[in-house]
Amino acid sequence: MISGATLIDYPQRYDIKTYFCKRISKTFLPFVVWSMAGLAKMIIRGQVTWEQVTPIFLFNGIFSAKFISIYWFFMPLFALYLSIPLLASVREEKKKFIFSYGLGIGFVFDALIPLMIHALSLPIDLPLHIDMFAGNLMFLFMGYLFSREEFSKKTKMVIYMVAVVGFFVHLCGTYILSMAAGNIISTFKGYTNVPCLLYSAGIFLLIKEHGDLLMKNHLAHYVVQKMAGYTFAIYLLHPFVMPFMVNKFHIPVTSIFYRVLGPVIIIFICIVITKFIRYIPLGKRILP
């Protein structure tokens, strides 16, 4: 959603060559470097042998997130980056209509109808799937529209209400179905499923509308400013820090201590490591 809000209008700031150079330097290069670091960790642990390391093995390991599983996020992100120049080419006066239409079509045919068929166990096979509006593109559309549209008070309340409903449907629906089945049931889970789309919209709107109020607090303003430069680095480093901390200190990952304080400790360690690496030549290139 943030990419939709900040990148679709990139032609107003720079050309397409600069656009791709920025995406490569800020995301693709760190992704490859830290994926290779994940491979190095696997070799050190004996999970992979040098004989296995071939060009095909490297390609599949990096781009299928086999070295660092949480890096699955990069492939959808890169797909969206490749889509943005096409979306940016839409004339300014047409963007609102086309993106609203795309979001509506994607939501109905790629999220709502499949959820209803699955949840109600309907014997329906719907072959209509409009790829050009489906999947993660919906977040680009939402980010662009929500960042620029001034909603009425009534519309905001509706968005917040369906966001709350979406959250509790995700949480309670998954709990009830999973407890009954004895394993995780994904009917209401999924990033492009209806519940997640609804509460993502609500959270984005909440921050847009009330973020300034939060930033008037000096402590909150200070924390946000300091953290802003480390969020991506924390994402890149936490797959290395988390297992080290858990294994080194034998922490049960289901404990309340780990669930509540673990993230704070992990974030702090990642920030310290980032500050150190950024002092090294090229450090800012691999941990931007």
- What is the chain's pLDDT, residue by residue, as a tens digit (288 residues)? 999 999 999 999 999 999 999 999 999 999 999 999 999 999 999 999 999 999 999 999 999 999 999 999 999 999 999 999 999 999 999 999 999 999 999 999 999 999 999 888 888 887 777 777 888 999 999 999 999 999 999 999 999 999 999 999 999 999 999 999 999 999 999 999 999 999 999 999 999 999 888 888 888 888 888 888 999 999 999 999 999 988 888 888 888 888 899 999 999 999 999 999 999 989 999 999
Phi, psi (rounded to 5 degrees) for 197: -60, -40
Spatial CA neighbour of 226 closest among 235, 237, 215: 215
- Tokens 């922490």, residue? 251
Token pair in block for residue 116:
């209803």
The type of residue at 87 is L
DSSP string, 77-92: HHHHHHHHHHHHTS-H
pLDDT of residue 253: 86
Do 35 and 174 touch, CB atoms closer than 8 A? no
- This model's pTM is above 0.85: yes
- Please give the Cα distance from 59 to 76 (Å, whole number): 17
Dihedral angle, C-alpha 186, 187, 190, 192, nearest 10 ° = 160
- Please give the Cα distance from 31 to 37 (Å, whole number): 10
Do 251 and 262 touch, CB atoms closer than 8 A? yes
- Please give the Cα distance from 115 to 18 (Å, whole number): 40
- Tokens 């800020």, residue? 26
Judged by DSSP in three states, 228 sits in: helix
Spatial CA neighbour of 235 closest among 208, 262, 256, 263: 263
Angle 120-121-122 (CA atoms, 0-180°, nearest 5)? 90
Provide the 8-state DSSP code for 127: -
